[in-house]
Structures are given as C-alpha cells and as structure tokens.
Amino acid sequence: MLIFAMAEHSRSLTQLCECFQGRVPKRADWMSLLGLANETLTTTALMEFVTRFEDRIPEDVCRYIREMFERNVARNDRLAAQLAETVAAMNDRGVTPVLLKGAAMLATAARPHWGSRLMSDLDIMVSPDQIDATLDALFALGYSEHFLAPPDGGKWYMELKRPSDVGMVDLHRALPGPAFFYRPSGDVKQHCKMMPVGRGRAYIPSATYQALILTIHDQFQDADYWIGNIDVRHLIELRDLAVSPEGIDWEALAALTPSKLARNALETQLVALFRLLGVAVPTRMRSRFVPRLQHRRRLAQARLPLLRQVLLPIAILDYRNYRDELGRSNRTGEIVSDRKWALPKSDTLRFLRGLSREQRAGKI
C-alpha cells in the first residue's frame, strides 16, 4: 500500500505541473491532484487552468477551485486594504518601507490576479534605525506584538497582529536568509522602484531582485537547498515574474549570485523552473552538473519521501563552498582549510536530519 501511495504521489506531481504548464493531464486522478495542490498551497493558482479548460475538467473540480479562488480574492482584498493602511501610517512617521514577497505582489498585480496566491502575512522591511518609528505607527493602528525573534536567532523580525485582520504583519530589518548572499548587490533600494500603495508609497523590488529574494528565502532561510525540498508555490511565483511585462533579466540575476554556493542554489531553482513549469530559462543557467543533480535529488524525494534521509549526504557536496564563503564571512579573519572536501560537524548533521524529517507547509 505504501509503494502504491508513493506512485500516486509521483503521478500527481507530474499531473499538477502539467496543469500549470497549460496542459490537461491524460487519465488525470483529480482527487490526488487536488490533494497535492492543497498540500503545496497552489490550489488557487489553478484558476487560470480551469478558466481555459473548463469543458475538459469535471464540474465538481472546477467548482471547488473556483470557490477557493473567489474566497481568496476576498481575503486578499482585505490584506491589500491592510497593506495600504499600514504603508500610509509608516509614511506619516517618515518611513518608506520595502515590500517583500506577497506584499510586493499585492502592490503591483492587477486585482484579478490577487486570488492566485495564498498569503498568511505581509512581509515589510525597514532599516534598523526606523524600527522605533515604524512600531509607533503600527501600535497606533492597534497592532500588538505576537512574536519577536529571540536575540540568538540570527535575524531580528517581529510578527504583529490585530483581531480584525486576516493576516499579520511580518516586520523585518534585513532581507531573508544570510546577509552574505546580498552583499554583491549592495543596497536593496538600488534595485527598487518607489510606487504608490493606497495613499502611501513604498519601495518595490524589481522582478529580477524579487527572484533573488525568493531563491535565497527558500534555499537558505528555509534550508530547502540542504534538505532537498521543493516549494511549488514559489516556483509558480518565479514563473509569473519571468513572464511579467518587466520579466527577469537572467544576466543580471546571474551577476547577483557570483559565489559558487549561491550560483548552485539559484540554478537548482532554475532547473526546476524549466523542468516542472516549462519556463524558458537560458541553457547556460540550467546545464551544470551540481544543480541538475540537486534537482534530481529533490524530484526523487518528492516522489519517494522515504529517500529524504538516504539522499541527505548530497548536501555535503556544497559544504566546502559554505565554509569558504558564508562561513568565512561570518568569522572574519579565520583561515579556512585548503582541503577540497569538508564534512559538517555532528551538530550540523543532527540539525539537518531533524529538518529533513519535518513536513513544512507548502513544501514537498
């Protein structure tokens, strides 16, 4: 029974990706397909597919996806109003925030597209010297602290909530993931445009820089690169950025990731973007051995979850790069060994094993 379930999961992933590429799967198992869409938080992203192929899809499947989409539009309407109110209040205190991830989408996408993305919060970034003014603005709006990252957590961020809202505000003072990956690109505002948000204004990263942020968020903040997870929802967002009017500047994106580790992580995402969603990624950015191996590992684990522990040692392929690049940046002046291979410490291996056993929302 277990092997049968795994085979069904494998077929569902293939069929779900066919839907996102605009093809109706042959002999589709719609119950399994919708189950995986729910698991990956991508059900509402199927609305375009339903609209295009309604006459070839079972009526109850169309009805379910349409209902989910319409409810999500209503929910994101409330999030958009909350975002506009929040940005205006910050502006009134002299703060112009940078909108990240879903918040940037709400500020730039046309309303008919809002329902495609399931969102639980609004990610907003301000500079460290503007935190106090920002909190004054948010507390004046009735927000209260829900969670504050511990001092030893490596990154400061605060979650703020109000009883009347459908989502929280995630307040950041740095971009997601290790700062090392953003140093080559300089100040984030160099890669942003100032745009109106309601009666206020905010910085919105370019499509290319949003692609970088999504990649670093998934691959290193969420550790997907080390443990082999796939975030299908964020792959769809990368696809949407690639086909947007602005589009992704592939050359510029490559220039933003000059280190070996960042390049391998980015190209692993781009291999998946090409293989699973059919996005026209340049061949030179999806043809190297390590990213292709990492993609095969991720696909094998998605189809056969029992392989997660077995394939975990593949993470060691890039551990040397981690020590040379990110590790050195965190320990200025430390001499890194000249050995070509480096093994993680036992604590690191235990940490990765623990992560690989977790089932994260939206990831397979």
* Number of C-beta neighbours around residue 89 at 10 A: 18
Q: HEC profile for the chain?
A: CHHHHHHHHHHHHHHHHHHHCCCCCCCCCHHHHHHHHHHCCCHHHHHHHHHHHHHHCCHHHHHHHHHHHHHHHHHHHHHHHHHHHHHHHHHHCCCCCEEECHHHHHHHCCHHHHHHCCCCEEEEECCHHHHHHHHHHHHHCCCEEEEECCHHHCCCEEEEECCCCCCEEEEECCCCCCHHHHHHHCCHHHHEEEEEECCEEEEEECHHHHHHHHHHHHHHHCCHHHHCCCCHHHHHHHHHHHHCCCCCCHHHHHHCCCCHHHHHHHHHHHHHHHHHHCCCCCHHHCCCHHHHHHHHHHHHHHHCCCHHHHCHHHHHHHHHHHHHHHHHHHCCCCCCCCCCCCCCCHHHHHHHHHHHHCCCCCCC
The CA distances from residue 24 to 16, 56, 249, 251, 275, in Å, are: 9, 8, 30, 33, 17
Please give the torsion angle defined by the CA atoms of residues 123, 124, 127 and 130, in that order, rounded to the nearest 10 degrees.
-130
Q: At what angle do helices 232-243 and 2-20 cross, to 10 degrees?
A: 10
Residues of the chain with pLDDT under 50: 1-7, 332-340
Residue 337 to residue 202: CA distance in whole angstroms: 45
Q: Which residue type occupies 219?
A: Q
- Torsions phi, psi for 185 (to 5 deg): -95, -5
Maximum alpha-carbon separation in the chain: 65
Pick from 355, 364, 357: nearest CA to 300 = 364
- Give the bridge partners for 326, in sequence order: none
- Please give the structure tokens belonging to residue 40: 């990956």
Residue 52 to residue 23: CA distance in whole angstroms: 10
Please say whether the dihedral angle defined by the alpha carbons of residues 324, 328, 330 and 335, taken in this order, is positive or negative.
positive
pLDDT at residue 201, rounded to an integer? 98
pLDDT at residue 9, rounded to an integer? 57
